[in-house]
Structure 1
Amino acid sequence: MKDFSQPLIEASEIIELLRQELQLKPFCQKLLQKKVIDKAARERGLSVTPEEIQTEGDKLRREKRLEKAADTIAWLAEQMISVEDLEAGICERILSQKLAEHLFAKDVEKIFVQSKLQFDQIILYQIIVANIQLAQEIFYQIQEGEISFFDAAHFYDIDEHRRHLCGCEGKVYRWSLKPDIAVAVFSAQPGEVIRPIETERGYHLCMVEKFLPAELTPERYQEILHNLFNEWLGSEVNHLLYTSKV
């Protein structure tokens, strides 16, 4: 694919389009984040080796199914970047991960223990309807065995997508639920249908299929690590902006 960025597109035109699309601020934020990461990594003696870049590059090629060198060259041309651009991006991502580990790896387990309840999950089914009379009628019909929870969700839920899934919300964190609903569902027994609970969305009838107690899995470790890192990064960017105005 032809690289049309030059001479058809000038840098000033890219900036102008970013302004028009309201994307200039997010783009500048990313640039400032890069400056903060690079500076913090230098101060702590963190660096990335060619071998690490090669390993991540090989992983990317496998993910993109770029089996031959010609495939990689064609993909790079399509993305309008060079090998050097690709390696620089990989280096920045590795450096960011290394800095996050250096700063916060020791805090992840402590944060997990302190907030363990918030990381509990359930497999949740729910029905949301618009009025209390219908919600109570559905609840009693389910209790009497006149209709199953799944059929009721399919017929009555106000959300079309959830109707197709017969009320299935899938895995849900405790922290993502309204407090009243969280207390009710995490106190219930699997398969128990909970009486209607009102929120601004309507009246909820909930049923827990399974409880999933929190574990510090590799995925959750990375989630907590990146949350801590992103909070720090945001604070450092704000500090950089403030000091530049003084």
Structure 2
Amino acid sequence: MNNLEQINIKPVEIVDCLKKEVSLKDIYKKILYQRIIERTARERGITVTPEEIQAESDRFRAENRLEKAADTLAWLEDSMISPEEWEAGIRDRLLAKKLSQALFEKEAEKSFIENRVDFERILLYQIIVPYEKVARELFYQIEEQEISFYEAARLYDIDERRRLRCGYEGKILRSTLKPDIAAIVTRGNVGEVTGPIQSEQGYHLFLVEEFIPAELTPERRQSLIAKLFKEWLEKEVIYFIHNQGEQPDSTKNDGIIRPD
């Protein structure tokens, strides 16, 4: 038995701790999320089979090197949950995923198309220096091929990490750049230095090595589904609270609204 389980901790102490940690509201919301998921899945005939739970538990065990049953039982004991409670948690997560896909798979594709430009990526290099005069001098030296952009970044950038990477920032989503910087960077051509641009950090020079078109990958699709699902759940919780009184009560009708 887990040693912690031998300590007599009362439920009121747990609630008091959650309040002190300002975490109680998050727990309430998670409980409401699950009620909403359960009811909506039931209305749509969405279920999770024992085979799906088994497959997911096998995947988790393999991923966490819990090949032996004894290893899994030891992990469960250390986590203070029973095998039945673990399987119930797996079932809840699979149900939420199934429901999210049923509700928002088509909406995710629509959202991607409408916001395609935000998912374009840029293979970007950057130099930031503290003074405009230095930035302009570097710009002209790079243009005249007196020094390469990468060498200038290694020698003059204010950030040690970027100096070590010769200015390499990586494959950046266009949406993560500030609008004014994104506009200037995307107007330039591949291999062309742009700037200097002033910000609170200093004066920036940019070099684009590649513009990468937006692509609806399986990972991005799932990310969009998860985002839309979370937004929907938030709206459902607000509706629930406004129509059910001050405190959630499992004996009351859920009163859940549905997406079109």
Same fold (TM over 0.5): yes
Residue 154 of structure 2: aligned partner? 154
Whole-Å separation in 1 of the counterparts to 2:134 and 2:82: 61
Report the Cα offset of residue 216 of structure 1. 1.2
Residue 186 of structure 2: aligned partner? 186
Whole-Å separation in 2 of the counterparts to 1:3 and 1:37: 35
Report the Cα offset of residue 6 of structure 1. 4.3
Q: 1:8 to 1:209 in 2, by over 3 A?
A: farther
Residue 242 of structure 1: aligned partner? 242
Per the alignment, in what secondary structure is the counterpart of residue 211 of structure 1? strand
- Name which of structure 1's ranges 225-234 and 25-34 shifts more when overlaid on structure 2: 25-34
Structure 1's consecutive aligned runs of 4 or more residues displaced over 6 angstroms after TM superposition are: none
Give, as a single letter, the amino acid of the residue that structure 1 aligns with 2:235: S
Matches within 5 A, 1:5-24: 5-24=5-24
Residue 103 of structure 1: aligned partner? 103
Give, as a single letter, the amino acid of the residue that structure 1 aligns with 2:19: R
Report the Cα offset of residue 234 of structure 1. 0.9
Per the alignment, in what secondary structure is the counterpart of residue 4 of structure 2? coil
Give, as a single letter, the amino acid of the residue that structure 2 aligns with 1:167: G
Report the Cα offset of residue 233 of structure 1. 0.9
Give, as a single letter, the amino acid of the residue that structure 1 aligns with 2:134: L
TM (normalized to structure 2)?
0.87
Whole-Å separation in 2 of the counterparts to 1:74 and 1:110: 46
Residue 37 of structure 2: aligned partner? 37
Unaligned stretches of 5+ residues in structure 2:
247-260
Q: Percent identity?
A: 52
Unaligned stretches of 5+ residues in structure 1:
none
Residue 211 of structure 1: aligned partner? 211
Whole-Å separation in 2 of the counterparts to 1:191 and 1:156: 20
Whole-Å separation in 2 of the counterparts to 1:129 and 1:77: 55
Report the Cα offset of residue 81 of structure 1. 1.5
Residue 55 of structure 2: aligned partner? 55
Residue 2 of structure 2: aligned partner? 2
Whole-Å separation in 1 of the counterparts to 2:8 and 2:149: 60
Residue 228 of structure 1: aligned partner? 228
- Name which of structure 1's ranges 213-222 and 15-24 shifts more when overlaid on structure 2: 15-24
Provide, for residues 170-204 of structure 1, a one-character-per-residue CA deviation record: whole Å limited to 9, x for no partner: 12111111112212222222222112112333322
Per the alignment, in what secondary structure is the counterpart of residue 190 of structure 1? coil
Say how many residue pairs are matched: 246
Residue 133 of structure 1: aligned partner? 133
Report the Cα offset of residue 61 of structure 1. 0.7
Residue 115 of structure 2: aligned partner? 115
Aligned-residue CA RMSD in angstroms?
A: 1.9
Whole-Å separation in 2 of the counterparts to 1:145 and 1:178: 29
Per the alignment, in what secondary structure is the counterpart of residue 208 of structure 1? strand
2:25 pairs with 1:25: yes
Give, as a single letter, the amino acid of the residue that structure 1 aligns with 2:30: K
Give, as a single letter, the amino acid of the residue that structure 2 aligns with 1:164: L
Q: 1:49 to 1:157 in 2, by over 3 A?
A: same
Q: 1:73 to 1:208 in 2, by over 3 A?
A: same
